């Protein structure tokens, strides 16, 4: 579970990133989940976007991906969401302590 301070730090990092995960008309499918897992393993912090023709809101898509990838939801703004999952082999992003 992320603290407020850690979540704020991750939001500041995500601000500079571009969305690399897109949820389209088909919704949260197995290929999207696989792509999210790969991106989280490589980057730890992933920004995604829900397209206009998607039946899910950004919050719903984020929650589904968090459950499927065992990740933490960091932020949802409009159609954009941010996911975080620390790497088991050594964290690339060092979170601030409380």
Task: Check which CATH number belongs to the domain holding 31 and give it.
Answer: 3.30.110.60
Judge whether 12 lies within some domain.
Answer: yes
CB 4 within 8 A of CB 34: no
Judge whether 90 lies within some domain.
Answer: no
Judge whether 94 lies within some domain.
Answer: no
pLDDT for res 1: 84
Residue linked to tokens 């984020």: 62
CB 14 within 8 A of CB 82: yes
Q: Which domain holds residue 49?
A: 4-84
Into how many domains does the chain fold? 1
pLDDT for res 58: 96
Which residues of the chain fall short of a pLDDT of 70?
A: 98
């Amino acid at each position: 579970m992320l603290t407020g301070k850690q979540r704020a730090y991750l939001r500041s990092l995500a601000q500079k990133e571009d969305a690399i995960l897109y949820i389209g008309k088909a919704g949260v499918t197995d290929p999207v989940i696989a792509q999210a897992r790969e991106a989280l393993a490589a980057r730890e912090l992933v920004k995604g976007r829900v397209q206009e023709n998607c039946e899910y809101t950004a919050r719903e898509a984020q929650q589904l991906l968090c459950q499927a990838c065992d990740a933490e939801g960091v932020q949802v703004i409009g159609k954009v969401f941010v996911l975080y999952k620390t790497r088991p082999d050594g964290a690339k992003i060092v979170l601030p302590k409380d």
